[in-house]
Amino acid sequence: MEDLENNTTVFSTLRSLNNFISQRMEGVSGLATPGSSQSSLQMQYQQRMQLEEQAGQIHSKSQLLQVEREKMQMELSHKRARIELEKAANTNARNYEREADRNQELLTRIKQYQERETEAENKLKEQMEMNKSYKKSMETMSKKMQEKESKLAEANETITVLKGKISELQWNIMNQEMQMTSQDSQKQELMEQLDIEKKKWQEASQQIQTLQASQSLLAEYEQKIKDLEQKLSQQEHDALIVKNMKAELARFPKMERELRQLREENAYFREMKENNGLLKEEVEGLQRKLERYEKVQAQLVTVELENEVRSWEHLVDEQEFPLLTPDDLSRQIVALQQRELALKEQNSTFMNSARMLEKARQQLQEEILCVQSQLLEEKKKREHQEALVRRLQKRVVLLTKERDGMRAILESYDSELTPAEHSPQLSRRMREAEDLVQKLHAHNTELEVTKQPPAPAPGLQELRPLRLSCQVTRSALAGARFAMLALKIEELEAERSKLAEENRSLQMKLESLTLQGDYDPSRTKVVHLSMNPMSLAKQQRQEEQQQLQEECERLRELVRVLKGGGSVSGNLEGVGGFQSPQEVAELKKQVESAELKNQRLKEVFQTKIQEFRKVCYTLTGYQIDITTENQYRLSSIYAEHQGDCLLFKASSSSGGKMQLLETEFSRAIPELIELHLLRQDSIPAFLSALTLDLFSRQTIA
Amino acid sequence: AQQQLGREHQGITLRGSAELVAEFFSYGINSILYQRGIYPPETFTRVQKYGLTLLVTTDPELTNYLNNVTEQMKEWLYKCIVQRLVVVISSIESGEVLERWQFDIECDKTAKDDEGPREKSQKAIQDEIRSVIRQITATVTFLPLLESACAFDLLIYTDKDLAVPEKWEESGPQFIANSEEVRLRSFTTTIHKVNTTVAYK
């Protein structure tokens, strides 16, 4: 501002100067133009000099002014500067304080940040360590991953193998399912047959059951019978036994009694022993008594006999027989018996005669019955024929009445007709009537001969037609006409009834047919919609059938393919429905690769094995062959004969322990066996010793 | 409803009778299809008609077919040229006719010339129709089982001089050989009389 002001004053002074100069110049120029140029030049030079002095004065004034102003300004500026400096100082102080605060804050922050830094560094370290550890673990994990991948690869291989197996199994399963289905169908047929036969079997079993039941019943009955028989026999036995026992039991009381008696006798005898003397005396006395008693008895016997004789004599006396002796009695008895016999014979003869008479009586009674029945029958016949006679008489009466009526009708017809036409017919009728009469006479005579009661009736009948014959001849034509009319009426009535029945049957048929749905084609017709559910259903059925047939043909082709067999791939294609073609192709490839692997492995194994065996042979000098499961045959490279070999048998399954078996060759080397195997128990030593031995032999030989 | 009330007051006209009979055929045929198991029972829905709970089909194709036939029947009943409507049930496999439901129609042809409607109450006709439909339901007890899958067809016996409409064609009467027939009830609107018979093998 001050500078600008200074400048503006300078410029303003300069401008005023220039203006002055220009004015002066103009004035100068106006004054001194036509003058000489030199004077003007001097004038100009003087003017310029003046001007320059003025200018210099002005300039110095202006400089003074300027300096003063500058001084003023300097003072002002000093003051201002001081104020500003103070302000600035204040502000600086404040700023300083603020910045001190800020510093402190920043310091604290720095400290915090340093702490954080340290923490972060620690964390970094830790994390670095963690990282390292993680890296290690990662490495381990990667190793594990590799292992697992290798395992996976193995697993995949196994999976491929298994898939191959699975495909094979699936193929087998398919085959088996086919067989299953065929067998199912067979099974169903067989099941049906089974059902039929089961039913038969059930019926048979039921019959068997009934039979068995009946048989069991029979057996039970038989058993019952046997039991009953046994029981019977037992009972008989028992009865016998019982009887025996009864007898014995009957004996038993007797025995008891005897026992008692014996005991009593014993006692008695004991008593008797004591009383022997007395008894002897008593015996003597008793003997005497006995003698007396015997005598008495003899007397008694005689007395009894005498009594008997007396009684007999009494009897004899009572019966009034002349004889008295028993012989006579016996003879009488005999005679009586003979009489008895004779009487019995008479009795028997009387009985026979009685029976004969009874028989004759019965026969006579039967004859009487027959005769009575015949009588009854003849009575019945008589009554029957009397009834016939009455009926015929009644008929005759009716006929006479009819004839009377006919007579009246005929007389009426006669009155209508002329007699001339009837005469030939009348004569004819007369002849016919006469023939009738003769026939009736003959019939009558026959009947009279047989003596039948109805004889009078035909006779009556004969009489009547004789009387009516003339009247009949008169009414012949009318009767014929009448008969014809009557016949016609009857025929017509029969026809009418038949027609009525036919009508009824036809109406019934019509009704049934209308119920069934019949119609009169001349008057009605049957319509229906073309698009009806029946036709739709039939169409659907046909379409279904066609589809099923196509499916059938497809399945038949599949079956043919399957039956044809061929490569596994072909079968898998045929199976096709189980797996998508991609999987099939993959599995095929896997299978092929697996097969190739197998083959290669086999070849490799074989070559390796052969190589190994050759190497063993060359290195150890023995060719080891496996003859049977656990037996190994060693042939030495230096064997003298081709058949020389040693046989070892593995005693344990792992082949750890071997035992030498006897062969011809082993018999030839017993010393070596004894030394190395039995004493030293070392098969390698034995084999090496043997090799050396054979080698030495060979080289020597 | 107003029309029905009108009918109740006014009696039965020829057109009203044709409508009633055609309606009866529609519900009757639905009942027969349900009872005989021609279509699966789950395709039927319940409606109230004639004071009964009847089952009608929900199958759109079938409903369309029945409506076509019913409309045609209405027309022919009005013209009194139809004699009989037959529901033929036959086996799809063998094509053999197993059952025949025959509705004989006797039309009073003087009704065309009459001026006024006839006196018969709607209720009485409904009662008669109800008894016929109940009887149709009851016949299931003695009809033999339809064992194979069956389809049905509707045959209409008309006068010989009828012009066969576009989608219709003539056919045979489709009798049953050795059939048993049973007459069911009939109902009449005084203009049309419908006799029902069922014939089965």
Select from B65, B86, B172 the Cβ nearest to the Cβ of A532: B65
- Provide mean pLDDT across the span A567-586: 61
Torsion of CA A142, A147, A151, A156, to 10 degrees: 40
What pLDDT is attached to residue A499?
A: 95
| Structure tokens, A247 | 């007898």
Interface contact flag, B162 A525, Cβ < 8 Å: yes
Q: Rounded CA gap, B35 and B51, in Å?
A: 18
Which residue of chain A comes nearest to B62, CA vs CA?
A: A533
Would you give the distance in Å from CA A36 to the centre of its chain? 161
Measure B115 CA to nearest chain A CA, in Å.
Answer: 29
Suggest the residue from A513, A523, A529, A536 to mutate for an interface test with chain B (most B CBs closer than 10 A). Answer: A529
Select from A527, A531, A533 the Cβ nearest to the Cβ of B156: A527
- Provide mean pLDDT across the span A598-621: 93
Interface contact flag, A526 B179, Cβ < 8 Å: no
Interface contact flag, B171 A536, Cβ < 8 Å: no
The Cα-based distances of A82 to A73, A77, A85, A93 in angstroms read 13, 8, 5, 15
Give the pLDDT confidence of A551-561 residue by residue, as tens digits.
999 999 999 98
Nearest to B59 by CA among B151, B165, B166, B144: B151
Confirm whether pTM is higher than 0.90.
no
- On the question of pLDDT at A652 being above 80, the answer is no
What pLDDT is attached to residue B10?
A: 58
Give the pairing type, strands A658-661 and A646-650. Answer: antiparallel
What pLDDT is attached to residue A36?
A: 56
- Provide mean pLDDT across the span B82-99: 90
Q: Rounded CA gap, A197 and A105, in Å?
A: 112
A403-412, A419-428, A582-591 — which is least confidently predicted? A419-428
Whether B87 has its CB under 8 Å from any CB of chain A: the answer is: no
| Residues A457, A396 contacting (CB under 8 angstroms) | yes
What pLDDT is attached to residue A567?
A: 46
Confidence of residue A24 (pLDDT cuts 50, 70, 90): low
What pLDDT is attached to residue B27?
A: 93
- Provide mean pLDDT across the span A629-646: 84
Q: Give me the numbers of helices (H) and strands (E) for chain B, helices first please.
A: 4, 8
Longest dimension (CA), chain B: 52
- On the question of pLDDT at A465 being above 70, the answer is no
What pLDDT is attached to residue A185?
A: 92
Q: Which residue has the higher pLDDT, A324 or A171?
A: A171
| Structure tokens, B21 | 């009979």
What pLDDT is attached to residue A566?
A: 53
Confidence of residue A382 (pLDDT cuts 50, 70, 90): very high
Suggest the residue from A508, A518, A523, A525 to mutate for an interface test with chain B (most B CBs closer than 10 A). Answer: A525
Select from B153, B171, B183 the Cβ nearest to the Cβ of A533: B153
Confidence of residue A543 (pLDDT cuts 50, 70, 90): very high
- Provide mean pLDDT across the span B43-47: 93
Residues whose CB is less than 8 angstroms from the CB of residue B178 and which lie 6 or more positions away in sequence, other chains included: B201
Give the pLDDT confidence of A281-321 residue by residue, as tens digits.
888 998 899 999 999 999 999 999 999 989 878 876 776 65
Complex ipTM: 0.83
Q: Which residue has the higher pLDDT, B61 or A516?
A: B61
Nearest to A695 by CA among A614, A622, A612: A622
Most confident stretch, A69-78, A455-464, A592-601: A592-601
Per the DSSP assignment, residues forming a β-bridge with B102 are B86, B197
Percent of chain A with pLDDT over 70: 88
Nearest to B80 by CA among B158, B190, B196: B158
Q: Rounded CA gap, A348 and A354, in Å?
A: 10
Looking at every residue in chain B, the average pLDDT score rounds to 86
Per the DSSP assignment, residues forming a β-bridge with B84 are B104, B157
Torsion of CA A316, A317, A319, A321, to 10 degrees: 70
Percent of chain B with pLDDT over 70: 92
Taking CB atoms and an 8 Å cutoff, what residues of chain A touch B197? 515
Most confident stretch, A158-167, A458-467, A678-687: A158-167
Interface contact flag, B183 A515, Cβ < 8 Å: yes
Confidence of residue A503 (pLDDT cuts 50, 70, 90): very high
Suggest the residue from B171, B175, B201 to mutate for an interface test with chain A (most A CBs closer than 10 A). Answer: B171
The single-letter code of the amino acid at B184 is L
Q: Rounded CA gap, A2 and A397, in Å?
A: 201
- On the question of pLDDT at A419 being above 70, the answer is no
- On the question of pLDDT at A579 being above 90, the answer is no
User: Where is A271: in which H helix or E strand?
Assistant: helix A37-274
Q: Can you point out the beta strands (E) in A234-326? A: none
Interface contact flag, A512 B151, Cβ < 8 Å: no
Q: Tell me phi and psi for residue A310, to 5 degrees.
A: -65, -45
Interface contact flag, B158 A525, Cβ < 8 Å: yes
Taking CB atoms and an 8 Å cutoff, what residues of chain B touch A541? 92-93
Most confident stretch, A30-34, A381-385, A659-663, B51-55: A381-385
Torsion of CA A556, A557, A559, A564, to 10 degrees: 140
Q: Tell me phi and psi for residue B197, to 5 degrees.
A: -135, 145
Q: Rounded CA gap, A561 and A569, in Å?
A: 12
- On the question of pLDDT at A324 being above 70, the answer is no
Nearest to B87 by CA among B162, B198, B193: B198
| Residues B66, B26 contacting (CB under 8 angstroms) | yes
Q: Tell me phi and psi for residue A34, to 5 degrees.
A: -75, -15
Taking CB atoms and an 8 Å cutoff, what residues of chain B touch A538? 92, 95, 151
Q: Is B39 helix (H, G, I), strand (E, B) or coil?
A: coil
Q: Rounded CA gap, B99 and B84, in Å?
A: 16
Most confident stretch, A312-326, A482-496, A618-632: A482-496
Select from B65, B93, B170 the Cβ nearest to the Cβ of A525: B170
The Cα-based distances of A451 to A358, A382, A394, A439, A454 in angstroms read 40, 12, 22, 18, 9
Give the pLDDT confidence of B159-168 residue by residue, as tens digits.
888 888 888 8
Measure A533 CA to nearest chain B CA, in Å.
Answer: 6
Give the pLDDT confidence of A467-491 residue by residue, as tens digits.
666 566 556 777 788 889 999 999 9
What pLDDT is attached to residue A568?
A: 46
What pLDDT is attached to residue A455?
A: 46
Which residue of chain A comes nearest to B200, CA vs CA?
A: A516
Q: Rounded CA gap, A238 and A232, in Å?
A: 9
Looking at every residue in chain A, the average pLDDT score rounds to 84
Confidence of residue A280 (pLDDT cuts 50, 70, 90): confident
Q: Is A625 helix (H, G, I), strand (E, B) or coil?
A: strand
What pLDDT is attached to residue A494?
A: 95
Give the pLDDT confidence of B135-181 residue by residue, as tens digits.
999 988 888 888 888 999 999 999 888 888 888 888 888 888 888 88
| Residues B188, B194 contacting (CB under 8 angstroms) | yes
Taking CB atoms and an 8 Å cutoff, what residues of chain A touch B162? 525, 527
Select from B167, B171, B197 the Cβ nearest to the Cβ of A526: B171
Residues whose CB is less than 8 angstroms from the CB of residue B30 and which lie 6 or more positions away in sequence, other chains included: B44, B54, B55, B56, B57, B66
Taking CB atoms and an 8 Å cutoff, what residues of chain A touch B169? 527-530
Question: How many other C-beta atoms are found inside a 10 Å radius of the C-beta of residue B105?
Answer: 20
- Sign, Cα dihedral of A472, A475, A479, A482: negative
Which residue of chain A comes nearest to B181, CA vs CA?
A: A515
The Cα-based distances of B191 to A690, B29, B79, B101, B120 in angstroms read 133, 21, 12, 22, 10
Q: Is A654 helix (H, G, I), strand (E, B) or coil?
A: coil
Q: Tell me phi and psi for residue A39, to 5 degrees.
A: -55, -40
Interface contact flag, A517 B151, Cβ < 8 Å: no
Q: Rounded CA gap, A264 and A338, in Å?
A: 59
Q: Which residue has the higher pLDDT, A241 or A453?
A: A241
